[in-house]
Amino acid sequence: MKRITVFLLLLTILSVTLLAQASLKDIIITPTEPSSLTIQVWTNRALGATYYQGESIHIYFKTSQDAYVTLYDYTPEGSVRILFPNFFQQDNFVRGGEVYVIPNPSYNYNLVVSGQNGREVIEAVASTLPNVLPSTPKIKKQPFIEMPNALDFMKSLKIKIVGKPIAVATTYFYVGYVPRTGVVHFTSNPSGATLFVDGINEGKTPTDLRLAEGNHLAVFWQGMYHISKDFTVKAGAYQVISAVIPITPPTVSFNVKVNVSTSPYAALVFVNGKMLGISPCTIDLTPGVYEFTIVKPGYHTVVKTMTIKNPVTNFNLSLSRIGNYTYW
């Protein structure tokens, strides 16, 4: 029987693509609630390895518990491709502890790398409940479902799963070339923060990492708080990425009111990574330094670091539209 070959188009960082239009902060999902569920995703080569056009690729994943899983892939067309479930493997319920592979040898298809040189990013999201992740569009007679308007799609996805217990894992690889690298030193105050770089758990701060040149995203976790940092690595260079994580002592009473308003309204308001309201809203805080993230589908995400010290602080913001948005 003839075997079907599916060509996997690539996300390039060397031309005007999705990552040129938006930072990794807009597309990397960060869980906002603790969960006992974990997920791993990897390919048949080491993290950050190089594949050349025409080579076959296998993508593996495993959860710690029985769960429902969706794998998202970012493409140069500005869309999101759903790798799993797909036309061949349509059931996204998986058993904990078992390793799953795309393509599954029991099905009649291959996955072959093609397209431009660059970096391919794959993100796996899992939940123990069937109704937490958005349902996959009806499987048509095409290998993988493609979602238009990738940035809007991912923002909408984040809104739907915010505050819900999910597990997320990310992997990536390079196609057609071996990228040059630089060294990055990560530090935090307080030290000992859990560090994620491009969605990968890299241990505790302080630490040094050798990373490929190009854009990256660091997320520093300390308790229930996290700080995100976009940064660019230059080949052969050394740089320091640091974060001050303002953890509010539980014994200190709130004595500052922050009035947040946006135009248009109904934007999600995150403070130090935790959603605290929908604009317009009033948030009670203690004096200190905070990272505000404003998210609304169809509009550019805004991240601002603010020092809060006045009894009443007004935060007014006009959001800029990024294009037509279709709710789903």
Provide the residue-wise pLDDT of the chain in tens; the chain has 328 residues. 345 555 554 333 333 333 434 566 777 776 655 678 999 999 999 999 999 989 999 999 999 999 999 999 876 556 678 899 998 888 999 999 999 999 988 888 888 887 778 888 899 999 988 877 777 777 777 788 887 776 777 777 777 776 677 888 999 989 888 999 999 999 999 999 999 998 888 999 999 999 999 889 999 988 778 888 989 999 999 999 999 987 655 544 567 889 999 999 989 998 887 888 899 999 988 888 888 989 988 888 898 888 888 788 898 999 988 764 333 3
**Considering only CA atoms, which of 276, 294, 169, 261 is closest in space to residue 225?**
276
> What pLDDT does residue 4 have?
54
Sheet of 256-263: strand order equals 281-285, 256-263, 312-318
Residues 47, 50, 54, 55: what is their CA dihedral angle, to the nearest 10 degrees?
-50
Q: Which fold has domain 181-244?
A: Immunoglobulin-like (2.60.40)
Burial class (CB in 10 A: 0-12, 13-18, 19+), 266: exposed
Residue 248 confidence (pLDDT): 59
Show the 3-state SS of 184-230: EEEEEECCCCEEEECCEEEEECCEEEEEECEEEEEEEEECCEEEEEE
The Cα–Cα gap between 104 and 89 comes to: 8
pLDDT digits (tens, 9 = 90+) for 264-307: 998 999 888 788 889 999 998 888 888 898 998 888 889 888 88
| Domain coordinates in residue numbering, the chain | 4-175, 181-244, 256-318
Q: Structure tokens of 301? A: 């995400």
Residue 95: Cβ-neighbour burial (10 angstroms; 0-12, 13-18, 19+): exposed
Task: Determine the pLDDT at residue 281.
Answer: 92
For residue 102, which of 57, 54, 38, 52 has the smallest C-alpha distance?
57
- Whether 4-175 and 181-244 share one fold: the answer is yes
Q: What is the model's pLDDT at position 9?
A: 44
Question: Structure tokens of 57?
Answer: 């690729």
Phi-psi region of 212 (alpha: psi -120 to 50; beta: other; left: phi over 0): beta
256-318: which CATH topology? Immunoglobulin-like (2.60.40)
CATH, range 4-175: 2.60.40.2550
